[in-house]
Each structure stands twice: as structure tokens, then as C-alpha cells.
């Protein structure tokens, strides 16, 4: 059992990374071998439309562009589970998440009949962190995010679990920033009470997907 954990936040030790580290522990508790990647350490772009993956005779479910992401995409298709964590930026996962998503999903999409070439099964976990409240996420963000989640689930064909963490602590000292729309006391209280529950839920997510 191999579980790949991918941090699509530029910050290596903040909310998203901390939840992913718990997911990693959960995966290991289930007996999985794990690999943890900080996506922002890799040198890559989104799909370059080289269309090598659509060439007649090309190996399927393979991204041919030569950069740091293609070998990771190969490893994802060979894994049993992948868990990707991303902050929400402007209502969507980060640009790095999107670049990985484009290249992974497009490389296994048939332009003959829109089926998925990949015949294996990789379980998928998605962890989001955001300033937004659960109410805002449910009402405005979730319908948009669900399209991406469904495409990823369809491409990798395994179990799909999504965990959103709301109203995260964005900086340790709000008094140093122009961030007047946030209630620091509420953010800090939530960090004390809710974030440990988010950590536990992400541990369980990692464990469940790596069984
Ligand atoms: C460029 C940028 C855009 C953001 N846009 C949103 C947003 O649209 N909605 C939201 O709820 N939070 C937004 N946030 C807040 C982050 O999603 C939130 O602080 C997240 O927990 C950060 O993750 P990290 O601690 O792993 O870096 C944004 C943060 C940044 C830096």
C-alpha cells in the first residue's frame, strides 16, 4: 500500500501542511508506505498542450512534458492513494493544485470518446483550508469545487473523501497586519478548539483511504 501526500500550499508548516501531516500519520497507522511532497518545491507548469498524450500509439495515462511534475504523475497512477491538501485562494484551490489537476486528469482522458484510460484504482483525499465559514463554503464554494473533485475521482477511480477546514488562523499575530475584517479572538479560539478536531479528522481520512 502506497499513499502519496501532496501539499499544494506554499507554506510548509501552516494549516494545510499540519493537516496533511496528520493524514500521513493516519496512512502510516493503516500500514501504508508514504511519500510527502511540497508541491511548491517542484518546477512545473500547467498543461503545455503538447498533446503527446493524445498521439496515436502513445502510452496512456502518462504526461510526456519533461519537468518535475511528470514523474510525480507517474507515481500517482502507480499508488494506492493520493491525498492533496490546498488552501482556498480566490475561491478555488491554488494554482499549483490546478496545474497538477490539469495534467493528471488530461493525461488519462480519451479524446476519442471521453472515457478515462486509467484502469486501476487510486483512492483520493482532498483537504481544503480557508478563511471562509462552513456556511459560506456550503452556499457559494462547494458547488464550484465539486466539479474538480468529481473529475479527479473519475480519473483515479477510487474512493473519494473531501475534508474542509474552515476559518483557519492565517497569521500568528493579526495586530501586525491590515486584516480588520477578521476577529482575531475568534480565530484563536477556533484554532484551540476546532483545529485539533480537524487534525483528528484528517488522521482518520488518511487511515481510511490507506486501508
Ligand atoms: C492569495 C490568497 C487568497 C486567498 N483567498 C481566499 C478565499 O478566496 N477564500 C478563503 O476562504 N480564504 C482565502 N485565503 C485564505 C487561505 O485559504 C487560508 O488562510 C488557508 O488556511 C491558508 O493555508 P495555509 O495556512 O496552509 O497557507 C486566501 C489566502 C491567500 C494568501
Q: How far is the CA of 132 from the centre of ligand 1 (A)?
A: 9
Residue 162, SS3?
strand
pTM: 0.98
Please name which of 180, 156, 165 lies closest in space to residue 86, comparing C-alpha atoms.
165
Ligand 1: residues whose CB is within 6 Å? 9, 11, 14-17, 87-91, 129-132, 168, 170
Q: How far is the CA of 170 from the centre of ligand 1 (A)?
A: 7
pLDDT at 206: 98
Nearest CA to ligand 1 atom 1: 89
Strands 33-38 and 2-7: parallel
pLDDT at 6: 99
d(CA 75, CA 40): 17
Nearest CA to ligand 1 atom 23: 87
Strand partners, 127: 85, 163
| Cβ burial, residue 77 (10 Å; 0-12/13-18/19+) | buried
pLDDT at 74: 98
CA distances from 145 to 86, 107, 126, 162, 164 (A): 12, 21, 10, 10, 11
| Average pLDDT for 130-139 | 97
Task: Report which ligand 1 atom has the smallest distance to the Cα of 165.
Answer: 21
| Average pLDDT for 47-63 | 98
d(CA 71, CA 83): 17
Residue 55, SS3?
coil
Nearest CA to ligand 1 atom 31: 89
Residue 128, SS3?
strand
**Pocket-testing residue among 7, 38, 88, 126, ligand 1, by greatest number of atoms within 8 A of Cβ:** 88
Amino acid at each position: 500500500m502506497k499513499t502519496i501526500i501532496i501539499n499544494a500550499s506554499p507554506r510548509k508548516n501552516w494549516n494545510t501542511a499540519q493537516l496533511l501531516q496528520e493524514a500521513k500519520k493516519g496512512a502510516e497507522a493503516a500500514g501504508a508506505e508514504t511519500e510527502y511532497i511540497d508541491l511548491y518545491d517542484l518546477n512545473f507548469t500547467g498543461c503545455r498542450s503538447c498533446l503527446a498524450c493524445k498521439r496515436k500509439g502513445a502510452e496512456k495515462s502518462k504526461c510526456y512534458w519533461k519537468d518535475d511534475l511528470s514523474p510525480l504523475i507517474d507515481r500517482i497512477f502507480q499508488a494506492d492513494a493520493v491525498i492533496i491538501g490546498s488552501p482556498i485562494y480566490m475561491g478555488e484551490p491554488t494554482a499549483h493544485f490546478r496545474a497538477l489537476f490539469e495534467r493528471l486528469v488530461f493525461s488519462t482522458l480519451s479524446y476519442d470518446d471521453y472515457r478515462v484510460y486509467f484502469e486501476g484504482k487510486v483512492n483520493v483525499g482532498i483537504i481544503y483550508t480557508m478563511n471562509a465559514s462552513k456556511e459560506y463554503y456550503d452556499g457559494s464554494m462547494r458547488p464550484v469545487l465539486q466539479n474538480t473533485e468529481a473529475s479527479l475521482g473519475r480519473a483515479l477511480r477510487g474512493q473519494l473523501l473531501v475534508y474542509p477546514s474552515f476559518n483557519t488562523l492565517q497569521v500568528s499575530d493579526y495586530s501586525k497586519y491590515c486584516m480588520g475584517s477578521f476577529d482575531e479572538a475568534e480565530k484563536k479560539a477556533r484554532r484551540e478548539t476546532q483545529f485539533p478536531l480537524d487534525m483528528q479528522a484528517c488522521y482518520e481520512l488518511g487511515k481510511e483511504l490507506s486501508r
